[in-house]
A and B are shown apart, each in its own frame.
Chain A
Amino acid sequence: MLTASALIAVPLAWLTTRADIRGRRFFALLGVLPLAVPGYVMAYALLGATGPRGALAELGVGWPPLSGYTGALLALTFSTFPYLFLNLRAALAGLDPALEEAGRALGFGPWQAFRRITLPQLRPAFLAGGLLIGLHVLGDFGVVSLMRFETFSYALYLQYAVSYEGVYAAWLALMLLALTASVLVVEARLLRGLLYHRAGSGARRQKRPVRLGAWRWVAYGFLVLVGLASVGLPVGTVLFWAGNHAPDWAGLAEALGASVSASAPAAVLAAALALPLTYRSVRRPTAASRLMERAAYFGYALPPLAFALALIFFSLRVTPAFYQTLGLLVVAYALHFLAEAIGPVRSALYQAPPHLEEAARSMGRSRLRAFGEVTLPLLRRGLLVSIAFVFLSAMKELPLTFLLAPPGFETLALGTWSYAREALFGQAAPYALLTMAFAAAFVGVLLAQEREEG
């Protein structure tokens, strides 16, 4: 997966930052857009496009059915390579061109200079992107279950939901946790002691775009192919099946209502938890406050299926009335996506001057009132972005919903997954289309936030 992602992300990042091609911004956006296609929608698209009854066969382009390891690899690669692309693009944009020029002056050819000078400088970006992809793939349930490729997540689901073997399911969850922890430890070890900042005097020069000459057409071909495979294929397949099947409007509206009724309170709860934790760690940083903030990230790194199983066991034992209720699902969403709520609040807090609050306190306001009257209005935008992030993430969340939703509670994600699993591609299409619309909105908010900060 990492290798396949690197084969797409490295040339894509280089072409959109260093090459003299037209429409670099457009192609860079095309490299981010696959984030709007959740893994299980990508898997659904691959299943719905290939095989004797697939969309490609209907268009006269026969393609053997994709499933198992190959299908899972392709679906996960196309839906996660943007994590690596974004990191590599940022690293390449910040690289000093003098390093490569020094290598060229010492007799390196262009390829040798890239391999021996540029590529090692991209190591932190590779590790950061690789970590995100690794965590995503290890925690994935939608893709591997649709492609019927048995990983820890899929086995955990089979063991719990089909075989009802609780103790073995708990062990599988612990093994999955150990695997996730090992990825985090390896990444931290590999990052230790890396220093790639500029040490000389003066400022970094502007880069000149590399002239590709006739190779430009090969580059365009590659960019179009990546766009077609990662965005065109899923959107085209979903639209094809949506056009071939009349949607069940009532069922769709019910699923949309269910998704919103779980995601909206979870988003508000996550923002409400993020605000005091972040305020404390920014305004009065101590070891304890930093530890608390890290605990929020721990919840995010936990594989969702393992977390869901732990919540089921715990609620059955300690709070049975809470089991299989909307409340448990809302709490699970809020705790899992809390890390997404922290970022925007923290950025807003750094921009809100503490002196204003101190001035309000010196004028006799209590701490709470000074915060409410002075700082809170300045954090409004950050809080709204936090709520949007968590809401949109929860709208497309599958594994937590799958195990924790009350009986008969069908969200958009569950509708897409359950129809696609039965190969009812037409019925799944409207659910997938709506899920993609919410995921696209998430990417839109993310890009707008980055533009604002950058």
Chain B
Amino acid sequence: MHERRIEKPKSEDSEQRQSQNSRSPVDSQTHSLLDSSTRRLLSDWWYVVPALVVMAGVGAPMGYLALRALEAEAAELGAIVFRVRNLRLLGNSWLPAC
């Protein structure tokens, strides 16, 4: 009896294995890692783009705020941080919270 053979579609793994065989072991490992991560990033653009928007939208301004705070010179910095007013503000902010 003639047996029908169903050709399976090439999976991502088999494609990776083929491309790895044509390179040196170290190169092929690096190449496949880069390939798969880039491929994953590109295929997940619908998630990566909003994630980046949120991360950058919240993180970057807050990071810049810290940089802006450090713009003061060392002597000025001490005067700003150790103001008596700051202690009063700390007390006033805690008091209603407690």
Contact = CB atoms under 8 A, between A and B. Distances in A.
A295 interface: yes
Contacts of A279: 47
B9 interface: no
Contacts of A167: 68-69, 71-72, 76, 80
A311 B54 contact: no
Contacts of B88: 150
A220 interface: no
Interface stretch (A58-66, A104-112, A296-304, A344-352): A296-304
Given A174-B66, A295-B55, A335-B58, A138 B72 contact: no
Interface residues of A, number: 58
Contacts, number: 124
A173 B95 CA distance: 18
Nearest to A269: B53
Nearest to B71: A167
Nearest to B44: A280
A276 interface: yes
B13 to A, nearest CB: 19
Given A170-B69, A295-B54, A137 B62 contact: no
A272 B57 contact: no
Nearest to B65: A310
A49 interface: no
Interface residues of B, number: 36
Contact of B92 (A151, A173, A174): A151
B25 interface: no
Contacts of A310: 61-62, 64-65
Interface string A149-162: 11111010000000
Contacts of A170: 65-66, 68-69
Contacts of B75: none
B26 interface: no
A433 B63 CA distance: 39
Interface string A312-355: 01110110000000000001000100100000000000000000
Given A69-B96, A170-B69, A276-B47, A313 B86 contact: no
Given A167-B69, A173-B65, A306-B65, A273 B54 contact: yes
Interface of B: 44, 46-47, 50-51, 53-55, 57-62, 64-66, 68-69, 71-72, 76, 80-81, 85-86, 88-90, 92-98
Interface of A: 1-3, 69, 72-73, 76, 133-134, 137-138, 144, 149-153, 155, 166-168, 170-177, 179, 183, 272-273, 276-277, 279-280, 289, 292, 295-296, 298-299, 302, 306-307, 309-311, 313-315, 317-318, 331, 335, 338, 368
